[in-house]
Structure 1
Amino acid sequence: MSGYALFANFENPFGDSTRALHESVETVLHAERLGFDEVWLTEHHFNAFSVSASIFALLAHLAARTERIRLGAGTVLLPFHDPLRVAEDVATVDALSGGRLLLGIGKGGPFPDQFRHFGVSHDESRARMFEGLDLLEKIFAETNVDHHGTHYRYDDLSVFPRPPRRPPIWLASLADDSLALAAQRGYGLMGPSAAPVARIKALLDAFRALRPERSPPYVLARYFLCDPEHGKARATALPFIRDFGANMRRAIQRIPAAQPVQPFHQPATAYDDAALLDNAIVGDPAACVDQCLALREQLGPCVLLLKPAAYEPEANRRALTLFAEQVRPHLPA
């Protein structure tokens, strides 16, 4: 692996949004104390369980509460935002954090309420994402921007504060056109927790064929739970993973689109319990070491993005501690 990161979804199993926000912030602070390199936050809307709708407000708060850990927006659902406002938020959070912001971009998951309430068609979301990316590139690079596109039009546009650099950008997509754009522009790629290793390997091989002189910066998400007792780790993680899979399968069936939807190009069977658990880092420390080494052997260096898979925050923090103390020392630096 080339780094280790926490995937913070700001989850609310308690039915108390205030507690959920504070518990998630404490887990991020705990990960920084343990030496994790990065934390990535998801953007979810209209979801009582994942209360991370205002992703840049959360990142700004974490910028003030942390000192070292890099802060990833993973991902900004660009079709639902005005790219102008995204550019302003990116520049502000990056300045406040001392240049620690990492920018992930996605088109939106298989959640019909997001598309319905934001007034965006699922079938046009990819085109909106690509045009929004084009506009962000212009805004980050220059002032007095003119842009006359299909979805956005601006004349003589300058954004302040000026970003001191174009922030590193990752695409949360496994589609061929996203892969080609990442290779052309030097973007990183993000792999979802449900994607099997063979699919990720094919993606990385295709990237290297397009740009053989470099490997892509790659962030791979995996559900994670470590416990001294192997069976207990799996028993603790399974309800969380099972609920995620069931929610994804229901969402896939509900989304209105001209063509059948396969989120992250994965069939609905990728969200079955057994498939998700097979792709997870779950078990006692020795098992977690073996699972991480197997990923490294198959995929090469990447940032491993650990998504804690317990409903109890303290259980997740204990699992992260075990990873830092008994798993990471046995993995490649």
Structure 2
Amino acid sequence: MRHGIFLPPFHALNENPHNVLHRDLELIEWLDQLGYHEAWIGEHHSAGFETISSPELFIAAAAERTKHIRLGTGVISLPYHNPLMVANRIIQLDHQTRGRVMFGAGPGLLASDAMMLDIDPNTQRDRMEQALDLILRLFRGEVVTEKTDWYSLKEARLHLLPYSDPFPEVAVASAVTPSGGRLAGRYDLGMLCVAAAETTGFDALTANWQTACEIAAEHGRAMDPRRLRLVAPFHIAETRDKARENVRFGMQAYVDYINNNMPRFDVPPGEDIVDYWMRVKIGVVGTPDDAIAQIRKLQAKQGEFGVMLHMANNIADWEATKRSYELYARYVMPVFDGTNVARDESYDWVTRHRDTLSRQRKEAAQRMIDKHAAERAAKTGRKEVTDRRTGSLIS
């Protein structure tokens, strides 16, 4: 299993917008140092909280600051863009990052974004499918002449071949509806299940994956679970009480924003916001062991999947957030990526042979002590006696 984040991002309205943008870049640097495998960056244009409007611009800056972490658009809202322009920007990033970019596509989540662009939300999923089909054809080197009710292309082609072979990895967003699974199965793409820990998203996991698998089979293919990514909120600390204390920093503002956009969290009047979060089990607020248990729960529901992504929701302050990612890297990642298997086996092997190894070590040490004593006696003509426990000379 690989590990990463899904960064919409979420930033409270009372924070300095310049600082939080640079802090997002600093977060990607921190994850790169900790050994996280990937980060997906969102696109939003309204509502105040989700402040990155161009994931491509952000990725270009983040790539210059990092060495290893892969960077994905999470996601580009395809109905908002001419598909040729999207394809060209992704291939340019493919070269600038030397193959570290991933292309995530979706229809657009915020109805307020679509409203400003005078796009009927009922058309977004159809337009996303049209654009995705065209972009994949361009990635494969096709020359396209095509006219629709929202774009027109004449002999369109890419003038840069992809850096990646055959082109950057492509994934589609999937939440509750089957649209993402349908496209993933049809085009052999990865899936970004962006609400895996929420009740409706969790309940839809198996159905959407099954949809993808069935449609892939109709096209003579099998879906690869290594390209399935699940997104869930995590905040961990050394103790559950400390984690609860940490998230009180920003949880209310986060829940208020989500409900202001589209009511999803029905918090009863008077109930403490952290108590509510824990009661309905939206992700993890706890310890590394709680994070491990959450991932095991997702595995039990979904089966094998390739990447666990943290929903970067900034419900804790900056230092506590960095500490959470560090604790996850130290204690959760090794459980699922197998990096400690050989160490555990070596430790257990030594434990099983401890008595034999201890006896052999003592015997070898005593032989050296006796050899030294014999050599000294032969040289000086005086017998030397040593303490067998410490090896020190006593006569």
TM-score norm. by structure 1 comes to 0.86
Q: Distance in 2 between matches of 1:307 and 1:224?
A: 7
| CA-to-aligned-CA distance 1:272-329 (integer Å, 9 cap, x gap) | 9548951303211222222222222322223111124434222111100000112222
Match of 1:148 in 2: 147
SS at match of 2:75: strand
Match of 1:199 in 2: 204
Structure ranking higher on relative contact order (CA contacts 8 Å, 6+ apart): 1
Q: CA deviation at 1:228?
A: 0.6
Q: CA deviation at 1:139?
A: 1.6
| CA-to-aligned-CA distance 1:215-246 (integer Å, 9 cap, x gap) | 34211111110001202213433664444343
Match of 1:315 in 2: 320
Q: CA deviation at 1:205?
A: 2.8
Task: Find the partner of 2:308 among 301, 304, 307.
Answer: 304
Amino acid at match of 2:114: F
SS at match of 2:74: strand
- Alpha carbons of structure 1 residues 116 and 177: separation in structure 2 relative to 1, 3 Å: closer
| CA-to-aligned-CA distance 1:84-110 (integer Å, 9 cap, x gap) | 211111011111001111111111113
SS at match of 2:233: strand
| CA-to-aligned-CA distance 1:191-225 (integer Å, 9 cap, x gap) | 12334433212222333333353334211111110
Residue 211 of structure 1 pairs with residue 208 of structure 2? no
Is the CA contact 1:6–1:28 (under 8 Å) kept in the aligned structure 2?
Answer: no
Match of 1:101 in 2: 101
Amino acid at match of 1:282: V
Q: CA deviation at 1:76?
A: 0.6
| CA-to-aligned-CA distance 1:159-214 (integer Å, 9 cap, x gap) | 23332433221111343343222112101111123344332122223333333533
Is the CA contact 2:181–2:212 (under 8 Å) kept in the aligned structure 1?
Answer: yes
Q: How does 1:19-98 map to 2 (within 5 A)?
A: 19-98=19-98
Q: Distance in 1 between matches of 2:82 and 2:97?
A: 23
Q: How does 1:166-205 map to 2 (within 5 A)?
A: 166-173=167-174, 174-193=176-195, 194=198, 195-205=200-210
Q: Distance in 2 between matches of 1:304 and 1:103?
A: 17
- Alpha carbons of structure 1 residues 282 and 109: separation in structure 2 relative to 1, 3 Å: same
SS at match of 2:86: helix
Q: Distance in 1 between matches of 2:310 and 2:138?
A: 32
Percent identity between the two aligned chains:
23
Q: CA deviation at 1:126?
A: 1.2
- Unpaired segments ≥5 residues, structure 2: 269-275, 339-395
Amino acid at match of 1:229: T
Q: How does 1:129-140 map to 2 (within 5 A)?
A: 129-140=128-139
Q: Distance in 2 between matches of 1:191 and 1:117?
A: 26
Amino acid at match of 1:94: D
Match of 1:221 in 2: 231
Amino acid at match of 2:261: A
Q: CA deviation at 1:270?
A: 8.1
Residue 244 of structure 1 pairs with residue 261 of structure 2? no
Which of 1 and 2 has greater Rg?
2
Match of 2:121 in 1: 122
What is the root-mean-square deviation of aligned Cα atoms in Å?
2.4
Q: Which stretch shifts more, 58-67 or 44-53?
A: 44-53
Q: Distance in 1 between matches of 2:208 and 2:10?
A: 30
Number of matched pairs: 317
